[in-house]
Amino acid sequence: MSDTIYGEEKSREEIEKMVEQTKNQKIYPILKPANWVGLKAGALSTSLIGTEEDGDLEVVIGYGMNTPDNFVFLTHNHLKTMDGQQITKEAFENLENYDTEFEYSRTLDNKVLTSSGYDFSSERILSKSHMQKAHAMLEADELLVSIPRRTCMMVVSKAADNELLNTFIHLHKNAWNDDSYKNAPIANILFVVKDGEIVGHASLGQ
């Protein structure tokens, strides 16, 4: 994951308004696709898969807060009053403390886990301790993780049989193509997780 934070300039009035909106609010990392319009609008981001320089950027991590009025993404202008390293530190600490749990899928013989329906369910793939729970529950050294859209996560053992893996991919594609809940898309990708951390990924195309 790149440590570079991207953004652009805005007016003094906009800076003051954004700073006021985000006082005393918790920062969280937010997973977004590389074509996220927020990047052109100056949102802060770090790369998760690929890099902007190499032209293979696929998934980025934005940073934002739930304010009383709306969800506010941090931009480069926040770096005028906030430290970039502190932003990422706080965001990941808050994510670590965000409480979500895995549930076994009974329809799939308890061989697939879900952890969905909450604001940062998908982002919890970035939490090593959370993913280590999945390793333990599935008794698997390597995992395949589906986070096609925000608030969605499914997990299966990478060593599962072909029938289950095909079903898992089918469910992932259904979620990727289903916009009925209006939860923003993240990636048509399966992530490979080992020891609680992302070690690879497989694109499933568009």
Asked which of 68, 96, 124 is the last residue of a domain, the reply is 96
**Residue at 5 is within a domain:** no
DSSP state at residue 149 = B
**Residue at 84 is within a domain:** yes
pLDDT of 2: 43
**Residue at 138 is within a domain:** yes
Residues 109 and 192 in one domain: yes
Residue 170, exposed/middle/buried by CB under 10 A (0-12, 13-18, 19+)?
Answer: exposed
Q: What is the pLDDT of residues 143-199, one digit of tens each?
A: 999 999 999 999 999 999 999 999 999 999 999 999 999 999 999 999 999 999 999
Contact of 50 with 7, CB cutoff 8 Å: no
Q: What is the pLDDT of residues 8-43, one digit of tens each?
A: 444 566 656 656 656 678 999 999 999 999 999 999
Residue 151: closest CA among 180, 129, 128: 180
pLDDT of 38: 93
Asked which of 96, 130, 160 is the last residue of a domain, the reply is 96
**Contacts for 143-146: CB closer than 8 Å, 24+ residues apart:** 143/192, 143/193, 143/194, 144/168, 144/190, 144/191, 144/192, 144/193, 145/190, 145/191, 145/192, 145/193, 146/171, 146/172, 146/175, 146/190, 146/191
Count, residues in the chain: 206
Residues 122 and 191 in one domain: yes
Residues 6+ apart with CB under 8 A from 22: 65, 67, 72, 74, 78
Q: What is the pLDDT of residues 105-128, one digit of tens each?
A: 999 999 999 999 999 999 999 999
Residues 28 and 110 in one domain: no
**Residue at 1 is within a domain:** no
**Residue at 2 is within a domain:** no
**Residue at 4 is within a domain:** no
Q: Whole domain around residue 175: which residue ranges?
A: 103-203
Residues 89 and 163 in one domain: no
**Residue at 169 is within a domain:** yes
CA distance 192 to 185: 19
Task: Tell me the mean pLDDT in the region 60-78.
Answer: 85
Residue 166: closest CA among 135, 141, 190: 190
Residues 54 and 73 in one domain: yes
Contact of 83 with 72, CB cutoff 8 Å: no
pLDDT of 112: 98
